[in-house]
Chain A
Amino acid sequence: MLETLPTAFLYLLAAPLLALLPRGALRAALLLVVPVLAALQVWSLPLGNLVQVEFFGLTLDLMRVDKLSRIFALIFCIAAFLGNLYAWHVKDVVQQAAALLYAGAAIGAVFAGDLVTLFFYWEGTAISSVFLIWARRTEGAFHTGMRYLIVQIGSGVILLAGVIVMYAETGSIAFERMELGSLATWLIFIAFGMKCAFPLLHNWLQDAYPAATVTGTVILSAFTTKLAVYSLARGFAGTEILIYIGAIMTLFPIFYAVIENDLRRVLAYSLNNQLGFMVVGIGIGTELALNGTAAHAFAHILYKALLFMSVGAVLFRTGTAKGSELGGLYKTMPLTMIFCVIGAASISAFPLFSGFVTKSLILSAAAKEHYYIIWGILLFASAGVFHHSGIKIPYFAFFAHDSGKRPKEAPWNMLLAMGLASFLCIAVGVYPAPLYALLPFEVDYDSYTTTHVITQLQLLFFSALAFTVLMRTGIYPPELKSVNLDTDWTYRRLLPRLIGWIAGPVGAMFWGLDNAKGAWLQGLIVRLYHAYGPQGRTSQFWPTGAMVLWIAVLLGVALMVSYVS
């Protein structure tokens, strides 16, 4: 029975059930049971194209199970479980159903063996996820949701256009590796890129994720972008342009993240930066690199969810996620603090934490294919990640100047979810073999070589030490940046200067492009309104004479065309 039912359907069928169940434990339990069942099913599925249906004369592959799709489906199930556990206390059926539908659509898309199925689920993730933003039910959240939805649906429409052109050109809708070059593949590429938050197509991410509900952000952070990463890995592995796109992606969010005050937005920027690593891996396209991408996506979902959960718990208890309004929370939220630090350590790729064993795969792949400049950029970006996610997030939230806030510890379900995520982060970091076994290709790689560990520790340990010393002696630096500046290690000393040096022009360039884009759009809408709005010429009332004139004109033209031919 379970084998013939596509995994996505488990979620999609359970969503309407929610409404029937009484609010409370039973309903929340269903939200946990579904991902577990789905994960068990995915785990036990044989590889191959399992479910096919006929649709308009096309054969749709609903379940293409191979190693690449399996690992993404598994991590999506885990993310759905953690997210739902974290949201155990939520009573809002809209959010709960949206979470299930969203996870189901994402998993369905991952298993899609053809582009039409992919499109269906692609739009499914867009439509279901926006409710997690709207669930805040504020005016601002509504408008943010609208902007988010427009981008997401737009991506789907572009994808559909690409699929149609592709079908007309080749007669095939199979979702296989593509070569950039034709209109069809470019359209599909751009559609993927929009969801993957490519530079200049990224604004929706930082706009929308911090605007969702406390629990919604955790769920949002897991699926959409990683679905795009999966699609790129499936469709455009080894496309060289992705290396450069990915490199830019790892860089530019850093500058924004450093100056951002809203911690959830900082995390959104760092999410974008982490996606860059995966995109670089896809661009390199070797077995090692693709393994790295898949593994990094796996680890990334866990630690990013963990970080969003911990900041979310703070927001839940204090009502704010602004760095400037927080601080000193470690006194009353010690567990949340510990989990946050574990997440921060993972994202910063400390040895023995998950980020270390996965990110190094991508770095090694870049070095192995002789992309040294890219390798350098990635290294620089790693340091940047450590700066804004590894130090800034826990520091501003839990330490820094004492804000005087004494909130209660997070509720038990949040703690449990964070604890599980932390456990997984550490487990993957300490014993990566099971994760490596799941990867799409054979892994012959050991991340715990002496050079690796020492390089990484050099990069991180001095700053961590400096940070600890400052904490112990009670010298709270007024600005976080000074922690880095005080580190008397050359590489670290160089970094702030580099940031300052690059941030100016790069930031200005991005702001400029962003503003130009915004101004152009605004101007366009104003012009459209003048032409088509209620006062516009097109929609105004026409006197009868004008209508008759049009008839005469059209008749004249028609006669002319008929006579001339």
Chain B
Amino acid sequence: MATEMVPHTALTLVDQLPAFQILASFLAAPLIVVLGSRRLAWPIAFIASAMSLIVALMLLSQVMDGTVISYRMGGWAPPLGIEYRVDAANAFVLVLVSAISTLILPYARTSFGKEIPLRHHTAFYAAYLLCFSGLLGVTITGDAFNVFVFLEVSSLSTYVLIAMGAERDKRALTAAYDYLIMGTIGATFFVIGIGFLYMATGTLNMADIADRIVEQGGNRTIRAGFAFIVVGIGLKVAMYPLHRWLPNAYTYAPSAVTAFVAATSTKVAVYVLLRFIFSVFQPNFLFEFNTLEYIILPFALIAMFAASFVAIFQSDFKMMLAFSSIAQIGYILLGIAFLTETGVTAAVVHLFNHGITKAALFMAVGAYVFSANGSYYDTIQGLGRRMPLTSAAVVLAGFSLIGVPGTAGFVSKWVLVQAALEKGWWPVALLIVASSLLAVIYVWRVIEVLYLRATPQGCQVREAPASMLVPMWIAVLACIYFGLNTDLTIGAAETAARGLMSGSAGMR
């Protein structure tokens, strides 16, 4: 147990940071509803999100050297009490989630003005904060059941957020409904899996489960639990072929919601998958090894190609990006399926890099929706000159999506290819490169539509307002910055991968 690491009398503010990470937004959400003021809703949300970001950064700086922070919620000692546990892997995800949220909120303020009826604004920010804190909670907690609770908090609020897109397009309602059905099934599977684990081990603390599993070896209950958890979380991750909820949900949700959810929610689910595969279960269990090699690996490869092909033939920019997300998740899952340190490093780096890339791209889509009232290629054609800044952002972030050297996307693909070669899997490495070619095609189609098609006659479209451009460009510049300076991302990811790969030992 971790009891000897953190003394019970942890009372300085710094020691309370893990709790603060969640509470800032978790308390701000009801506060917004209680105050009921439309004017105060946004500032409160923004301050809560910014504070979370600061806390996440402080936590990351504490754990970058490989230490693990264990925090007891309410002073109850684990394994009975709920434990919050911060190491490099989840601190990294915490930073990603809170940074994206802080970036998107100023953007959301403008974009919602046009997309969501005014009377829903207060409730909207409350739902947004709940989703945000749910994602943070899933990431930070060290308690398996607590993961499920926070997963539901974030999922339920995500359904609401997606349904808000109905103002612009009624299909948002069916998309949210589908996601609700699928998400609930996924969550149910997950909780069933945890039930099995509880049955087998009698504990819910993840580190504790891990220890007991090692003692027991893989009996049938544990194996069943593993299968349920992988499939349940796989759905949240949008693992092919469980991805079908994602394209519609992303496409019909309000722009800012898409940008936020796309950049964070699947990434958090990936983190949970990582945590369960490597820390709770042991990669050296044969059943886990086989599941990864015979199920996750092939489906990851299929996703890389099938989803990319679909993306190529799309005629809606937003839908195209949604399918590209499924393909990119394929890369992440591929990195996990390698079951090597480099592979996990690649997965974690790509999780981050793809997060900022997609945030930038979806924000750009939102700018088109804002200015040109749509994201169909027919609607945005020839806007390269009318919306130069947004379109330039699309080009640069698109390069990162492809993995052009000098951008963030290149770094993670490079590490991924290295991981494949390390295992001696040449064909897989070639497939990674080949599927990047498909990304070239679908990104190129957008560039062609924007720059090389004629602007329609009498086009009155203007550049999006600065409040949307600035966050978008911060994300774009981050894509480039992290493409050139890889110390932070690769360093953190390597520490995270080492921690994860050392199994339950990494949990203390």
Contact = CB atoms under 8 A, between A and B. Distances in A.
Nearest to A127: B404
Given A157-B436, A544-B178, A547-B245, A565 B314 contact: no
B189 A551 contact: yes
Given A153-B440, A551-B235, A539 B182 contact: no
B214 interface: no
B306 A538 contact: yes
B290 A561 contact: yes
A547 B290 contact: no
B313 A534 contact: yes
A160 B444 CA distance: 20
Interface stretch (A403-411, A416-424, A460-468, A524-532): A524-532
B295 A554 contact: yes
Interface stretch (B12-20, B56-64, B221-229): B221-229
Given A555-B231, A557-B295, A562-B226, A536 B287 contact: no
A100 to B, nearest CB: 19
Given A551-B185, A554-B241, A554-B295, A532 B312 contact: yes
B181 A56 contact: no
A175 interface: no
B86 to A, nearest CB: 29
A565 B452 contact: no
Interface string B420-443: 011000100110011011001000
Counting chain B CB atoms within 10 Å of each CB, the highest count among A153, A160, A547 belongs to A547
B310 A165 contact: no
Interface in A519-565: 528-529, 531-534, 536, 538-539, 541-542, 544, 546-548, 550-551, 554-555, 557-559, 561-565
A564 to B, nearest CB: 8
A562 B426 contact: no
A547 B231 contact: no
Contact of B433 (A157, A533, A534): A157
Contacts of A93: none
Contacts of A565: 286-287, 289-290
Interface string B275-312: 00000000000111111001100000000001001101
Contact of A534 (B227, B242, B315, B418): B315
B230 interface: yes
B502 interface: no
B426 A538 contact: no
Interface residues of B, number: 57
Nearest to B241: A550
A195 to B, nearest CB: 17
Nearest to B429: A164
Given A164-B417, A558-B230, A565-B290, A544 B313 contact: no
B287 A165 contact: no
B241 A548 contact: no
A261 B305 CA distance: 42
Interface string B240-254: 011011011000000
B133 to A, nearest CB: 28
Give the dominant DSSP class at A's interface. helix
B405 to A, nearest CB: 6
Contacts of A554: 231, 234, 241-242, 295
Contact of B224 (A134, A534, A551, A562): A562
B148 interface: no
A245 to B, nearest CB: 24
Contacts of A441: none
Contacts of B182: 544, 547-548, 551
Given A142-B452, A539-B323, A554-B241, A160 B433 contact: yes
Given A157-B433, A532-B313, A563 B223 contact: yes
Contacts of A563: 220, 223, 287
Nearest to B453: A142
Contacts of B312: 532
A438 interface: no
A161 B430 contact: yes
A533 B320 CA distance: 11
A56 B227 CA distance: 38
B293 to A, nearest CB: 9
Contacts of B437: 153-154, 157
A561 B433 contact: no
B198 interface: no
A559 B224 contact: yes
Contacts of B314: 534, 539
B429 A541 contact: no
Contacts of A529: 313
B287 A561 contact: yes
Contacts of B248: 541
Contacts of A533: 313
A253 to B, nearest CB: 28
B486 interface: yes
A120 interface: yes
Contacts of B436: 157
A498 interface: no
B295 A134 contact: no
Contact of A561 (B295, B315, B429, B440): B295
Contacts of B234: 554
Interface in B446-479: 448, 452
A165 B426 contact: yes
Given A154-B437, A529-B313, A538-B310, A164 B227 contact: no
Nearest to A541: B248
A98 to B, nearest CB: 14
B341 to A, nearest CB: 16
A516 interface: no
Interface string A431-458: 0000000000000000000000000000
A377 interface: no
A531 B429 CA distance: 25
Counting chain A CB atoms within 10 Å of each CB, the highest count among B223, B247, B289, B444 belongs to B223
Nearest to B434: A157
Contact of A161 (B291, B429, B448): B429
A183 interface: yes
A532 B429 contact: no
A558 B421 contact: no
A532 B287 contact: no
A165 B424 CA distance: 10
A47 interface: no
A161 B418 CA distance: 11
Nearest to B402: A153
B431 to A, nearest CB: 10
Contacts of A183: 426
Nearest to A116: B405
Interface of B: 178, 181-182, 185-186, 189, 220, 223-224, 226-228, 230-231, 234-235, 241-242, 244-245, 247-248, 286-291, 294-295, 306, 309-310, 312-315, 323, 404-405, 414, 417-418, 421-422, 426, 429-430, 433-434, 436-437, 440, 444, 448, 452, 486
Given A167-B421, A547-B182, A561-B290, 16 more contacts: A119-B405, A142-B448, A146-B444, A160-B433, A531-B309, A532-B313, A544-B178, A548-B185, A550-B242, A551-B182, A554-B231, A555-B228, A557-B295, A558-B227, A558-B230, A565-B287
10 contacts: A165-B429, A168-B422, A528-B309, A544-B182, A548-B181, A550-B241, A551-B231, A558-B230, A562-B291, A565-B289
Chain A to chain B: the 6 pairs with minimum beta-carbon distance, closest first: A532-B309, A168-B421, A558-B227, A562-B223, A562-B287, A533-B313
